[in-house]
Amino acid sequence: MPEHPALAANQNRPASIDALRDQVARLERLGATTQNRPKGPGGSLRPVTLGAAELDRHLPWGGLPRAALHEVAGEGADREEGAAAAGFASLWLARLQDAGPVLWIVRAGCRATIDLHAHGLHQQQLDPKRLILVAAKRDDEALWAMEEGLKAKSLGAVLGEVEKLDLTASRRLQLAAETGGVTAFVLRRWRLMERAMRDAAQPIAAVTRWRVTALPTENEICWQVDLARCRGGRPNTWIMEKAHGSDELRLQLQRGQSNQHAPLSGDLAPLLGGRPLATGTRTN
Amino acid sequence: MLVETVGPRREVRAADPRAIACGIAPGQGVADAQALVPDLLVLPADPAGDLAALHKLAEWATRFSPLVAPDPNDGLMLDITGCAHLWGPGDNGEEKLLADALQRLRSHGFDVTGAIAGTIGAAWAAARFSQSKQGTIIPAGAVSGALDGLPVQALRIDAATADGLQRLGLRKIGDLYPMKRAGLAQRFGTTLIKRLDQALGCAAETLSPLLPPPEHRIGLGFAEPISAPESLHRVSEILVGRLAKELSAHQRGARMLKLSAYRLDGVVSALTIGTARASAEPRHLFHLIAEKLERIDPGPGIEFMSLAAERTEVVTALQSGMIDMDEAAVSAADLAPLMDRLANRLGAERLARPIPVESHVPERAIKMVAPLQGQKKVQWPKLPPRPTRLLPNPEPIEVMAPVPDDPPITFHWRRIRHRVVWAEGPERVAPEWWRPASPDANESLETRDYYRVQDETGGRYWLYRAGLYQAEKQPRWFLHGVFA
């Protein structure tokens, strides 16, 4: 099997391959809306980059394509809690906010029971001032709200927390994202673990599918990020870390082993419990 | 015949014309009535039901004028100022309106009379006491002439006063005109004078309408009743177009619209929509209405529809100096229609924008406001690490802590046991005693010591111990959030 052009190094790539890639992108309709919708400072549909070169380069578009559907899901307990997944999604959303406000559809009964914490998201670089929350009780409400949001061209991105998502529903979202030119994310959040195990592997029409696992760490965040599926690209696994206390986000990306459960490096070994590490901050 | 129980006695409350012809009158005892007509049909009266029916009828009557007041027990009052010309030019319009109203009510099986006059009192008197079947119209300036032949009961006075007047030989309203007002007032109280003045237009009287009058309203009647969804669609579109035109002519935008469908059977089916920002954009407004149009039940057919702007606001550009630039981005023109569609379908309480609040208590540190509500510029504070998920209500957990003042080594949350491998804290949050206590006053008035803990799988949680450490008391622990 010949190596995918995306995996070839960015430098000294033959022009013909570039042309082929453009053609493929056109066929896949990714970025097809470039002409009718100027986005971002460059006025183009440039892909979103995390600023972590290795990850950005691994994606065939040189970043996450806009105007497409992406899936983010937690692993383990986070399938239910959706905390690490929300953090990871925030990183992308924060980089889409220059294109417009972000619509986040949360699973909640009403405004008062939304469990998304804006201060926490703010620490993941998402600007809460450009965040609109919608509480959706059921999946059908969330999917409908997502579709409506994707039609609003002035939004930067739409994220919906969804439990069940089939091929048809995800195709609708992908199509809406393409036509509206708004980037869409589904954050999978299951109520039952058994359901999650069964559902997570079902095929959906997302362009990329990400799995996030929180790993023991002393740092502020440490995730194992799996790119489980990528249209026109290869799955991969990284360890992503963000240092404590620093305001600026520093991502350390390590190319993990190709198997899903990459062992941890030794220096990340957890410390013993019951012993506070850092001196407590007192807000009083 | 309808019967009502007044004290120990069962009285006749209402009787149909045939019963009245047999000599039965309201106020009579039931036993007496049954003695007169042995095979009398006696039914219990339902005053509450009657009142409700009257209100429904009043709602129906808003097709003639937006200002309708039910006048218990058996009347409706309409302020038709400026409405009559819709039925025809000049006085002709009033005539046609009255005839139309009476004819429609009769076709619904009501036994009605009506009158149009310059004052409420005069119309009331003429409707009830002049015998004309097609209704009475008292032209302006002819009120006293029209009233003087009517009995004094037509002045909306109680039975005792009317009796008293009649005993003095004052049987007609006209008899009262030459009387000394002071004498009348002394003998019968000021109500009589007030009623007389109101009827003659010497004292002001206003209707208290059932519904507050809308600021702008468009109506459309149909020659043939409509009921097909497509027709409803089309009619709403026309109504929205006309209303939007009228609104923009006044430089106003709708915040709330009510679409009412008046059905053949006298039922009014209505729907209401709200908008996040005043809008006079027909396409946007129509979209909101079309989404809910299925809630209009056409029943046997709709003969009249109206669209009213119940609340309007002046359409203005946002004052940019007051509002944060980012807020302006959030309230970009394109978003108002989206917010309205979401609010229309899901409810306005489902939409929110987080605003930071200066509070150490985590659940109070964020306030959810309406998405497009203007806000002063706010600074997002720098805080110690905060979870991405904060539970709306902290959940009690079972913990095992070797030293009472330390973070736990294991805890159970949602039936899963977590072994703590790493902990950081405490971050002490003092109760905010100066704030009004929340429903769980105990909870919020306790000092909390927050810990960030990590379990062996890498999940990071935000736990707190409620209350200060007390040797004799078992500390209570709660889980409040999950970190990214």
Does A158 lie at the interface with B, CB-CB under 8 angstroms? no
Find the residue in A nearest to B421 (Cα): A273
Strand partners, B115: B136
Alpha helices in B133-206 (DSSP H): 143-147, 159-167, 173-176, 181-188, 190-200
| pLDDT score at A149 | 93
Cross-chain Cβ contact B349/A276 below 8 Å? no
Q: Choosing among B326, B339, B350, which should be mutated to test the A contact, i.e. which has the most A CBs within 10 A?
A: B350
Cross-chain Cβ contact A83/B349 below 8 Å? no
| pLDDT score at A281 | 39
Interface of B with A in 330-359 (CB under 8 A): 330, 332-335, 337-339, 341-342, 345-347, 349-354, 356
Dmax of chain A from CA atoms? Answer: 64
Residue by residue, DSSP assigns B384-438 as S---SEEEEEEEEEEEE-SSTTSPPSEEEETTEEEEEEEEEEEEEE---TTSPPP
A-B contacts at Cβ under 8 angstroms: 229
Does B483 lie at the interface with A, CB-CB under 8 angstroms? yes
Cross-chain Cβ contact B386/A119 below 8 Å? yes
Nearest to A87 among B383, B421, B484 (CB): B484
Select from A251, A271, A244 the least CA-distant residue to B453.
Answer: A271
- Tokens representing A232? 């026109």
- Tokens representing B249? 């002519």
Measured between CA atoms, how close is A270 to chain B, in angstroms? 6
Residue B416: Cβ within 10 Å count: 12
- Cα(B204)–Cα(A4) distance, integer angstroms: 88
Cross-chain Cβ contact B459/A141 below 8 Å? no
- Tokens representing B105? 């009510």
Q: Sheet of A69-74: strands edge to edge? A: A252-255, A236-242, A221-230, A208-214, A69-74, A183-188, A157-162, A102-107, A131-136, B351-356, B366-369
Cross-chain Cβ contact A129/B330 below 8 Å? yes
| pLDDT score at A137 | 92
- Tokens representing B458? 């890498």
Cross-chain Cβ contact A111/B430 below 8 Å? no
Q: Cβ neighbours of residue A136 under 8 Å, at least 6 residues apart?
A: A105, A106, A107, A108, A142, A145, A160, A161, B346, B350
Does A23 lie at the interface with B, CB-CB under 8 angstroms? no
Cross-chain Cβ contact A114/B352 below 8 Å? yes
Residue A129 is given by DSSP the state G
Backbone angles phi, psi at B362, to 5 degrees: -55, -40
Measured between CA atoms, how close is B249 to chain A, in angstroms? 28
Q: Which three-class secondary structure state does DSSP give residue A246?
A: coil
Does B420 lie at the interface with A, CB-CB under 8 angstroms? yes
Residues of chain B contacting residue A218, judged by C-beta atoms under 8 Å apart? 422
- Cα(B281)–Cα(B428) distance, integer angstroms: 52
Does A263 lie at the interface with B, CB-CB under 8 angstroms? no
Select from B267, B192, B191, B207 the least CA-distant residue to B71.
Answer: B207
ipTM above 0.85, yes or no: no
- Cα(B44)–Cα(A2) distance, integer angstroms: 92
Residues of chain B contacting residue A135, judged by C-beta atoms under 8 Å apart? 346, 349-352
Q: Consecutive sets of 10 residues in chain B, 484 residues long: mean pLDDT of each?
A: 63 77 77 78 80 84 83 83 75 82 84 86 84 79 81 84 84 83 83 85 80 80 86 90 88 87 86 83 86 86 88 64 46 74 88 87 85 73 89 89 82 89 86 64 69 89 83 82 90
pLDDT per residue rounded down to tens, chain A (284 residues) = 444 544 444 455 667 777 777 777 666 665 444 443 433 333 346 888 887 778 888 888 888 999 999 999 998 888 888 999 999 999 999 999 888 899 999 999 888 889 999 999 988 888 888 899 999 999 999 999 999 999 888 899 999 999 999 999 999 999 999 998 899 999 999 988 888 888 888 889 999 999 999 988 877 888 889 999 998 888 888 888 887 666 555 566 555 444 443 333 333 333 333 334 333 334 33
Residues of chain A contacting residue B349, judged by C-beta atoms under 8 Å apart? 110-111, 135
Q: Is the dihedral of CA B9, B13, B19, B23 positive or negative?
A: positive
> Please, what is the angle between helix B181-188 and helix B159-167, to 10°?
130
Q: Choosing among A132, A221, A264, which should be mutated to test the B contact, i.e. which has the most B CBs within 10 A?
A: A132
What is the number of alpha carbons within 13 Å of residue B346 lying toward its C-beta?
33
| Phi/psi-derived region of residue A95, left when phi > 0, alpha when psi is between -120 and 50, beta in every other case | alpha
Which amino acid, B297? Answer: D
Pairing of strands B43-44, B2-6: parallel
Cross-chain Cβ contact B335/A86 below 8 Å? no
- Cα(B185)–Cα(B257) distance, integer angstroms: 48
Find the residue in B nearest to A270 (Cα): B421
Does B361 lie at the interface with A, CB-CB under 8 angstroms? no
Measured between CA atoms, how close is B53 to chain A, in angstroms? 36
Nearest to A154 among B334, B408, B423 (CB): B334
Cross-chain Cβ contact A148/B342 below 8 Å? yes
Which amino acid, B33? Answer: A
Residues of chain B contacting residue A152, judged by C-beta atoms under 8 Å apart? 334-335, 337-338
Nearest to B389 among A82, A275, A284 (CB): A82
Nearest to A131 among B353, B402, B423 (CB): B353
Nearest to A110 among B350, B354, B360 (CB): B350
Which of B168-205 are b and which e, b meaning 16 or more Cβ less than 10 Å from the residue's Cβ?
eebebbebbeeeeeeebeeebeeebbbbbbbbbbeeee
| pLDDT score at A41 | 34
- The single residue listed with the structure tokens 């409405």 is B83
Select from A189, A188, A182, A180 the least CA-distant residue to A204.
Answer: A188
Number of H helices, E strands in chain B: 15, 19
Number of H helices, E strands in chain A: 8, 9
Q: Is the dihedral of CA B152, B158, B161, B167 positive or negative?
A: positive
Distance of CA B380 to the CA centre of its chain: 38
- Cα(B19)–Cα(B41) distance, integer angstroms: 9
- The single residue listed with the structure tokens 């002071």 is B182
| Phi/psi-derived region of residue B82, left when phi > 0, alpha when psi is between -120 and 50, beta in every other case | left
| pLDDT score at A42 | 34
Alpha helices in chain A (DSSP H): 15-27, 53-58, 78-81, 83-96, 118-123, 139-151, 167-180, 193-200
Does B178 lie at the interface with A, CB-CB under 8 angstroms? no
- Cα(B12)–Cα(B35) distance, integer angstroms: 13
Find the residue in B nearest to A218 (Cα): B422
- Cα(B426)–Cα(B448) distance, integer angstroms: 9
Cross-chain Cβ contact B346/A151 below 8 Å? no
- Cα(A252)–Cα(B74) distance, integer angstroms: 81
Q: Are the C-beta atoms of A96 and A66 separated by less than 8 Å?
A: yes
